């Protein structure tokens, strides 16, 4: 059940707006911008880069899935590593370390000469990319007043999502190798900006308490209630990566199956989806602040996503333009990504907050390692369209089950610990 909320509705006064647009928020937003650029670049240059490496057209899909799975495996590993470090050493140490690793890895991607080299470097890049969002959202959530916390985290994510748009235009203007070089260079430049960012005061206070255990990942499994609370945070995010990792990444194959005469370009589909995501992230954050409820907004965005998945797969398109329009609408539907990570951060105390906020989105991203084999199995049994529909139904059902008994966290004071 969705609990009724009676809190007063916040508004963005000039003083609150100044607090919102402070340096840590801006730097976190730019950091996520570069993160998304590098994360989505492979999906955009997948076909071009694999062709240059000598991969046959018939092997394009399985080799693409192999490389995506390697990148997502890196995200899973990195999510745990950076999450624990974020609670043990601090949010800033993660923001510095993660961007250094994925920037260097992406520069190295520009020199690959084989699929196996590509796979290793996508794994390393994935490890680095895993730390950016969780640490950034945690830092912003802890430094902003609770009255505008939702605005801040949605601003970080909406600016970040535009990194996919830049990745598309860079990939169209430059060779795919140079696109990787540019992404890595942007990350290294961002390190200079991060020198001026200070640590969260809430975390610094907890760090000074030597008796408090921080970053204990296994504490999340110490009781049934703790584990279920953590699991719910992961489950509500699955539709986001079903749309991004299946429907958008393999949009050329869906375009063919739907009988479109004009070929669909994966990079363009990803770009349009992320434009929708940026608008959705900003909207979901503002709606949650206005309604004083994370759960109500999340339920509405999930419903919109379910409807748009049906439209994407079953409504006959007359043109590629209409297909890309649906990609924007789907992106808006899954534009609760910032809200989802914010909810995860708000559910847990300061001594586990970075661990949760960093591992949760990366476990969702890593779920592609489960989704892709299921997608291939369903495609073989009932076809690519019906197979995707079945997988989409399962992810939506699981997300609603996760939302069902989740605690409402809008306006919650974050200065508390997990015992």
Q: Worst-scoring range by mean pLDDT, 11-25, 92-106, 112-126, 373-387?
A: 11-25
Is 225 buried (19+), middle (13-18) or exposed (0-12) by CB count in 10 A? exposed
Q: What DSSP assignment string belongs to 85-116? A: HHHHT-HHHHHHHHHHHHHHHHHHHTT--SHH
pLDDT above 70 (res 9): no
What is residue 53's three-state secondary structure?
A: coil
The reported pLDDT for the residue numbered 42 is: 86
391 contact partners, CB below 8 Å, separation of at least 6: 242, 246, 371, 374, 375, 378
pLDDT above 60 (res 366): yes
Query: Residue 248 carries which DSSP code?
Result: I
Instruction: Specify which of 100-109, 163-172, 188-197 reaches the highest per-range mean pLDDT.
Output: 100-109
Tokens representing 280 are 């959705």
Cα(389)–Cα(404) distance, integer angstroms: 22
Cα(269)–Cα(78) distance, integer angstroms: 27
The reported pLDDT for the residue numbered 318 is: 77
Assign 280 a pLDDT band (cuts: 50, 70, 90): very high
Is 56 buried (19+), middle (13-18) or exposed (0-12) by CB count in 10 A? exposed
pLDDT above 70 (res 7): no
The reported pLDDT for the residue numbered 261 is: 84
In this prediction, residues 126-140 reach a mean pLDDT of 89
The reported pLDDT for the residue numbered 270 is: 85
Assign 2 a pLDDT band (cuts: 50, 70, 90): very low
pLDDT above 60 (res 1): no
Q: Worst-scoring range by mean pLDDT, 5-14, 101-110, 365-374?
A: 5-14
What is residue 14's three-state secondary structure?
A: helix
225 contact partners, CB below 8 Å, separation of at least 6: none
Please, are residues 306 and 238 in contact by the beta-carbon 8 Å criterion? no
Instruction: Name the nearest CA neighbour of 395 among 242, 245, 250, 249.
Output: 242
Pick one of 1.20.1250.20, 1.20.1050.10, 1.10.3720.10, 3.30.70.20 as the CATH number of 23-191+222-404. 1.20.1250.20
Q: pLDDT above 70 covers what percent of the chain?
A: 96
pLDDT above 50 (res 5): no
pLDDT above 80 (res 14): no
The reported pLDDT for the residue numbered 108 is: 95
The reported pLDDT for the residue numbered 250 is: 87
Assign 203 a pLDDT band (cuts: 50, 70, 90): confident
Assign 309 a pLDDT band (cuts: 50, 70, 90): very high
Cα(10)–Cα(102) distance, integer angstroms: 38
The reported pLDDT for the residue numbered 8 is: 46
Please, are residues 334 and 359 in contact by the beta-carbon 8 Å criterion? no
The reported pLDDT for the residue numbered 4 is: 46
pLDDT above 50 (res 414): yes
Query: Residue 246 carries which DSSP code?
Result: I
pLDDT (tens digit per residue) in 49-77: 999 999 988 888 789 888 988 988 898 89
Helices 23-52 and 176-193, interaxial angle, to 10°? 160
The reported pLDDT for the residue numbered 15 is: 67
Cα(165)–Cα(289) distance, integer angstroms: 27
pLDDT above 80 (res 314): yes
Buried b (16+ CB within 10 A) or exposed e, 361-395: bbbbbbbbbebbeebeebbeeeebeebbbbbbeeb
Tokens representing 240 are 């986001």
pTM of the model: 0.84
Name the average pLDDT for the chain. Answer: 87
Give the start-to-end residue ranges of the domains of the chain: 23-191+222-404
Cα(124)–Cα(122) distance, integer angstroms: 5
299 contact partners, CB below 8 Å, separation of at least 6: 2, 400, 403
Instruction: Name the nearest CA neighbour of 206 among 46, 417, 419, 372.
Output: 417
The reported pLDDT for the residue numbered 201 is: 81
The reported pLDDT for the residue numbered 3 is: 44
Higher-pLDDT residue of 79 and 412 is 79
User: Token match 């992961």: residue?
Assistant: 234
Cα(39)–Cα(127) distance, integer angstroms: 11
pLDDT (tens digit per residue) in 75-130: 889 999 999 998 988 888 888 889 899 999 999 999 999 999 999 999 999 999 99
């Amino acid at each position: 059940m969705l609990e009724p909320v009676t809190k007063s509705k916040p508004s963005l006064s000039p003083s609150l707006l100044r607090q919102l647009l402070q340096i840590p928020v801006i730097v976190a937003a730019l950091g996520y911008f570069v993160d998304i650029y590098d994360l989505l670049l492979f999906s955009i240059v997948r076909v071009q880069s694999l062709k240059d490496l000598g991969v046959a057209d018939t092997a394009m899909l399985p080799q693409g899935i192999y490389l995506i799975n390697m990148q997502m495996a890196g995200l899973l590993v990195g999510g745990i590593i950076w999450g624990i470090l974020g609670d043990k050493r601090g949010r800033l140490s993660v923001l510095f370390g993660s961007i250094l690793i994925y920037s260097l890895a992406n520069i190295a991607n520009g020199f690959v000469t084989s699929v196996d080299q590509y796979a290793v470097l996508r794994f390393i890049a994935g490890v680095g990319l895993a730390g950016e969002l969780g640490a950034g959202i945690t830092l912003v959530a802890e430094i902003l007043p609770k009255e505008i916390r939702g605005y801040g985290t949605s601003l970080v994510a909406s600016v970040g999502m535009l990194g996919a748009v830049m990745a598309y235009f860079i990939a169209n203007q430059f060779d795919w190798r140079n696109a990787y070089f540019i992404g890595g260079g942007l990350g290294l430049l961002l390190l200079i900006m991060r020198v001026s960012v200070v640590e969260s005061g809430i975390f610094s206070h907890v760090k000074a308490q030597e008796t408090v255990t921080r970053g204990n990942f296994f504490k999340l499994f110490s009781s049934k209630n703790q584990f279920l609370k953590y699991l719910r945070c992961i489950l509500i995010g699955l539709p986001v990566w079903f749309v991004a990792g299946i429907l958008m990444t393999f949009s050329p194959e869906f375009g063919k199956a739907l009988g479109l005469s004009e070929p669909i370009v994966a990079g363009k589909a990803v770009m349009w989806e992320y434009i929708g995501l940026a608008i959705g992230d900003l909207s979901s954050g503002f709606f949650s602040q206005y309604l004083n409820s994370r759960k109500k907004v999340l339920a509405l965005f999930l419903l919109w996503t379910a409807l748009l998945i049906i439209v994407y797969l079953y409504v006959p398109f007359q043109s590629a333009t209409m297909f890309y329009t649906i990609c924007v609408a789907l992106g808006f539907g899954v534009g609760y990504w910032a809200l989802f990570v914010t909810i995860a951060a708000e559910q847990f105390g300061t001594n586990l907050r970075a661990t949760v906020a960093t591992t949760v989105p990366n476990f969702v991203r890593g779920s592609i390692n489960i989704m892709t084999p299921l997608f291939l199995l369903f495609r073989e049994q009932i076809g690519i369209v019906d197979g995707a529909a079945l997988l989409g139904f399962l992810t939506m059902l699981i997300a609603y089950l996760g939302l069902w008994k989740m605690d409402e966290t809008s306006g919650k004071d974050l200065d508390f610990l997990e015992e």
